[in-house]
Chain A
Amino acid sequence: MKVYISATLRNFFGKNESLDVEAANIKAILDYLTDEYPEAKKILFDDSENLRGFVQIYVGEENKSDKSYWKEEIDAGEEVLLLPAIAGGAPVESIISDDRRKAITFDDKEVERFSKHLMLRDIGVKGQKRIKSARVVVVGAGALGSPVIQYLAAAGVGTIKVVDFDEVSLENIQNQILHTSRDIHRPKVASARDKVRNIDRSIQFEDVNLQLTADNIYDVIDGYDLVIDCTDNYKSRYLINDACVLAGIPLIFAAIFQFEGQVGVFNVNNGPCLRCLYPKPPEPGLVPTCSEGGSISPLGGIIGSIAANEALKLIIGIGNHLDGQILVVDSLYLHFRTLNVDKNADCPLCGFAPTITTVEDFDYEDFCGLREDEDEEPIESVEPDELARRIEANEPITFVDVREPHERAVLRFPNAIVIPIGQLARRKNELDKSVDTIFICKQGQRSALAIRTLREAGYDGSMYNLKGGLDEMKGIIFSHEGAWL
């Protein structure tokens, strides 16, 4: 029977293009070839006698490389082809270098602790060493940070830094499973530290109890391998994204809102960044954060667990990542969708002609619209304690509440007219121009927008914005309960 030898393999078979071999099956052909050309044996087979990855055997048009075909009888008229297998792929590489991995050792206790990782072929000792040498920053110790921090600690990540400026409050307990009722009024990073210590005292844990700004973010993320964004607001997300791109640190992005969550991987292998997807944040105040919009308890656990899983895969260098993709999870109807995020050549941060080159020069307050436009007529505002004084003095005031129904259900503001922003212009006649009108919302952003909307609609009564919104009123104590009610 005729055996064709591809030009790519011919050098190992006396440069013969084809050979006539007396054999009934592939096994016999291979035996003949390796007898005749002993040098070819190590080319065709590896040390375990398996066919090398770059060799394929065809009979006619059919691939018969698998050993199970080798004893099948072949018709003498068929041609057997010895062909190359040409394939490959971009490397899935760990974000932890081999040198750092090699510097790690385990004691007996660690071998026992991580045995379930060690028995996985794709993780094993090498992968676990990478996990131990990894240095990860988690920004936000809330709903998303809770599972992320705990899983990273349980998985054996050697160095974990948690950044959060906030204190635990009662409403946090519903979905921030790091914290318990005993942690109320403690810094969130403190309960994170306690939890991590209880999991594994050998973890290098660093708690950073501050709000990230353009001035301090570099110091916070410098020298770390990976940043996981578990924050709940656009200002932080863009700040973290920009700093990570400029510092060349991979970023895992996670976000939750009501019943929906998103998770993605940015800035890995020259991949896209958050600005490739959304060059600018949405209009200020219009998209409520998770703390304003609410979210179902386990959602942070679902999304945060996926984020922690992505982190471990990046550290070990296995599997497919959400690199250049956003996974969108709808927990209400159980839809999981993956959206592709292409790298944007015009991205102001990671494109070909970046306009953002340093995080310091960038005005986030301005970018996110948190600063008032100087060209616009300024909005008069009233401080919370000033408002409290006026309420106690029984001054005539019209209150307009522009919050969403679910927000009003959580925190009632008595004696207020409820007008959604969209209906303001149409319902402006409900307002009394002879008394001051004070607009309220949760944080004082949407109420400012409401005043602008009414001004544009031609309303000329005196309007004030409650500065900082109802969040700022929480600390006010009235001299008698009746004043507030």
Chain B
Amino acid sequence: MAYTDIQMDKKDLQTLKDIAVKAYPYEACGVLTGGEIENRIYDIVDANNTAALDLRKKSFEISALDIYRLENDGYKPIGFYHSHPDYPAVLSEEDKKHMIPDMIYIVASVKRTYVSQLKGYVRTSTDLNQICELSIQIVDKGGK
């Protein structure tokens, strides 16, 4: 199965970066919500990192019930994002273990004042051991 590129507009990209920098040195995390167009991000919803405070520099967790409430509010999650403070935007074993097939995952590598790298990934539902990188396209706002 071929996957389409991730599409997001400039404002959402900026929101994502701001959230990652604000959370530094802790990991930021949140939900990417979509609509009709495949892999087109409609909104970025910041989520609480519920991992224990002493682990938050190196890990994140989003409460499943928060996702449930978000869906009840009418959002359609199409993926998730999180940041890696002072670490490249590559997936860890822990990240991979929690990837839902066909959902998109964006990882931001964040330094103290800026985001240095942004990468998108997907775990294929045809072969659960396969994880592909998706490129991220910045599109005009009108495209939603």
Contacts and interface: CB of A to CB of B under 8 A. Distances in A.
B100 A84 contact: yes
A171 interface: no
B100 A88 contact: no
Interface in A74-99: 81, 83-93
Report which residue of B25, B62, B98 has the largest number of chain A beta carbons within 10 angstroms of its beta carbon.
Answer: B98
Nearest to B47: A86
B2 interface: no
Interface string B55-88: 1011111101101100100001100101011110
A345 interface: yes
Given A43-B125, A53-B98, A88-B82, A7 B71 contact: yes
Given A12-B125, A83-B65, A89-B60, A270 B111 contact: yes
B90 interface: yes
A269 B62 contact: no
Contacts of A56: 64
B22 to A, nearest CB: 16
Contacts of A58: 64-65, 68
A9 B55 CA distance: 28
B77 A89 contact: no
Interface in B6-61: 25, 27, 29, 31, 47, 51, 55, 57-61
Contacts, number: 111
A56 B97 CA distance: 13
A352 B111 CA distance: 10
A90 B28 CA distance: 11
Contacts of A90: 27, 57-59, 84-85, 87, 92
A269 B125 contact: no
B113 A84 contact: no
Given A56-B64, A63-B64, A89 B102 contact: no
A87 B51 contact: yes
Nearest to A61: B65
A352 B101 CA distance: 39
B29 to A, nearest CB: 7
Nearest to B49: A87
B107 to A, nearest CB: 8
A352 B27 CA distance: 21
A156 B99 CA distance: 36
Contacts of B100: 8-9, 54, 84
28 contacts: A6-B67, A6-B71, A7-B77, A11-B102, A43-B101, A53-B97, A54-B98, A58-B65, A61-B65, A83-B68, A84-B77, A86-B64, A86-B80, A86-B98, A87-B61, A88-B60, A88-B82, A88-B91, A88-B94, A89-B55, A89-B92, A91-B87, A92-B58, A92-B92, A269-B86, A320-B58, A343-B112, A345-B113
